[in-house]
Chain A
């Protein structure tokens, strides 16, 4: 049914349509509206049977999901930012145990300095945890990916993370087609675990594995993700047949056919990028873009096909691998074996900094001119950081730089002008 609603509400409804049996909730901005929406659906009886558990931490959230999933229930949780790091150990454990848990990540930066706004640092921190990671471009895709995620997880016996940009998607009101229960039931069968903790068939799960078998276990996790490379497009195609629209898949190219320049990004920023591509195409520039829907597994072959003929690739990345640069570009180079394609890594939008069309266009044009650095930081206040580096050169000091930068910028920035040290985000919900 078409409706105008908040992204989080739409996702809550989509998750409910998947009939999760155990939901674990621990609040963190910007994920809160999703678990609040589900709380209402469970408490009102609209989603039943379902156990909704208000846990005491994200670590417990993932651990309860592990117990529930291992005992044969369809389990779901959602988190973001500090929350996913707080549960990190259990995130790895869930995949190691082969549990098909689905988790939404309302992507948000990681502190310090504490910051509640959007970037991808949180999901990136757990990219090697053995989960499938799907990134939604829009709220419609977020809804659709959740429905696919449960099926994918259960077919592969592997957990799936659906990543949606905090605020930009979670809090945006958009037109969304929320499917009917009949449609979802037709697509997503009941969960039948292959193995579970069950007194009728008692097994030992989670044994200690030594050097003689550990490599093989890890290899198999990788091999399964390679299987997912086949399954994800099939699932997107099946989804299209049942629901009448395409969502998901590995990569979503936009006007790439003859493009000499291709921009690659994760998540909602693709919408803005596509607008810029349209404008530049109108001006005669051969440019296209590709949205990476699946970051894990990384679709090297599919992406290589899309990028094949381009002479330059620009990655717009909402996370910084401190000390080297790009996460996406680093992975993407694997798709370009033996090619001399130029790759430009552009770090953008960290901590919620707006990624504007104007800045994107400037960046793309600089790349085409050949004046863009291989690693650049879009809309960085270069003067402010240079002044700080000068100060630090003059007098060695320890401790955080955040307050120095805020002081330097003066009382004109943000609502935080009156709070001097530890309250740069005064008034925001953390």
Chain B
């Protein structure tokens, strides 16, 4: 789905799909020495920060897609704080931070300004963390969708309020330990829920484009950003970005953890146009959720008791349901 050429994965054995094997014209944006470096080095994100990685790839792809004619509205959160400690800035794009909850609305305002001034070449991205998107920013986001404003909203989902010290958001997965869902008491960790699926809610607005992506597959992320920027109207991209600090995983395992989220079925990667699913990233090598959960200390309490084990089984059921629902494994493939 991501590559226009029939690249055989066994040639590299990785998801990077070695750019060496591709024609120059279809190589990744990041491999281009002329890339924009939209989120430049020197920022203060933690080592292995998935959000920094995702934002860098997403914005560089967007800048290439629109020839540098881009303005960005950013919500409060790690991405904002680690990139702009006054008087420094890591941004090499026109960038504005206003508040935690209003990035989508600020994006709407920027798009309106560009339209009224006849600068239709200038495009708008609004972006924020999961808290700023699926919780406090949700009303502004839904309003922007409903009016079909010409904004691409990118949510970097690290599954909690990281900037304030890892508190639970409504994107925090079932069972996870956070600072406000501690691993104590009878039901340690987060409630065993199905979560709030904002990509699906976005689709219910029948907007032109909705997609999920992950730093596990950066080429896919680039492709989706590129595609999104070639469409007008409200668009939504939800990117899974592991946070080593909040998840309690090794800083060298960011990509691996993200990949296991997708390969276990816990994080389905798909895209949709006007409310209909048009593409999905098939699971190549299905893994049980244990493999994903065990790399992260936020789930470690689940493996210490029999009750915890039962919860892991419930999490496995969530993954199985995703796989069935989105058709992530070819029919007849071994479960």
Contacts and interface: CB of A to CB of B under 8 A. Distances in A.
B89 A204 contact: yes
A53 B111 CA distance: 11
Given A53-B147, A199-B94, A206-B97, A60 B71 contact: no
Interface string A343-363: 000000000000000000000
A73 B117 contact: yes
Contacts of A210: 85-86
Nearest to A52: B112
Given A73-B113, A202-B93, 17 more contacts: A56-B140, A56-B142, A63-B98, A64-B105, A64-B112, A66-B98, A67-B73, A67-B108, A67-B113, A68-B113, A70-B109, A90-B99, A198-B122, A202-B91, A207-B84, A207-B97, A209-B86
Nearest to B142: A56
Contacts of B143: 55-57, 60
B107 interface: yes
A409 B98 CA distance: 48
Contacts of B107: 67
A283 interface: no
Given A60-B139, A199-B122, A66 B113 contact: no
B52 to A, nearest CB: 16
B69 interface: yes
B106 A63 contact: yes
Contact of A22 (B93, B96, B116, B146): B116
Interface of A: 21-22, 24, 49-51, 53-57, 59-60, 63-73, 75, 89-90, 93, 97, 197-199, 201-210, 213
Interface in B47-72: 68-71
B174 to A, nearest CB: 30
B105 A60 contact: yes
A210 B88 CA distance: 12
A204 to B, nearest CB: 4
Contacts of B115: 51
B277 to A, nearest CB: 26
Contact of A54 (B95, B96, B140, B147): B147
Interface of B: 68-71, 73-74, 80-81, 84-89, 91-99, 101-102, 105-118, 122, 139-140, 142-143, 146-147
A220 to B, nearest CB: 14
B125 to A, nearest CB: 12
B69 A67 contact: no
A66 B109 contact: yes
A67 B109 contact: yes
B113 A71 contact: yes
Contacts of B86: 207-210, 213
Contacts of B116: 21-22, 49-51, 73
A199 to B, nearest CB: 5
A27 B117 CA distance: 26
Contacts of A63: 98-99, 102, 105-106, 108-109, 140
Contacts of B105: 55, 59-60, 63-64, 66-67
Given A197-B95, A198-B71, A213-B86, A67 B101 contact: no
B109 A68 contact: yes
A427 B44 CA distance: 56
Nearest to A55: B143
B97 A71 contact: no
15 contacts: A21-B112, A22-B112, A66-B109, A67-B107, A67-B108, A68-B109, A70-B109, A71-B113, A73-B112, A73-B117, A197-B95, A199-B71, A202-B94, A204-B84, A208-B86
User: Which of B98, B114, B122 gathers the greatest number of chain A CB atoms within 10 Å?
Assistant: B98
Nearest to A193: B113
Contacts of B81: 208
B106 A56 contact: no
User: Which of B69, B113, B117, B122 gathers the greatest number of chain A CB atoms within 10 Å?
Assistant: B113
A60 B140 contact: yes
User: Which of A21, A49, A56, A197 gathers the greatest number of chain B CB atoms within 10 Å?
Assistant: A197
Contact of B110 (A54, A55, A60, A70): A70
A292 B265 CA distance: 65
Given A198-B71, A202-B95, A71 B108 contact: no
Contacts of B97: 205-207
Contacts of B95: 197, 202-205
Contacts of B70: 199
Contacts of B142: 56
Contacts of B113: 21-22, 51, 67-73, 75
A294 B140 CA distance: 33
A198 B94 contact: yes
A227 B14 CA distance: 63
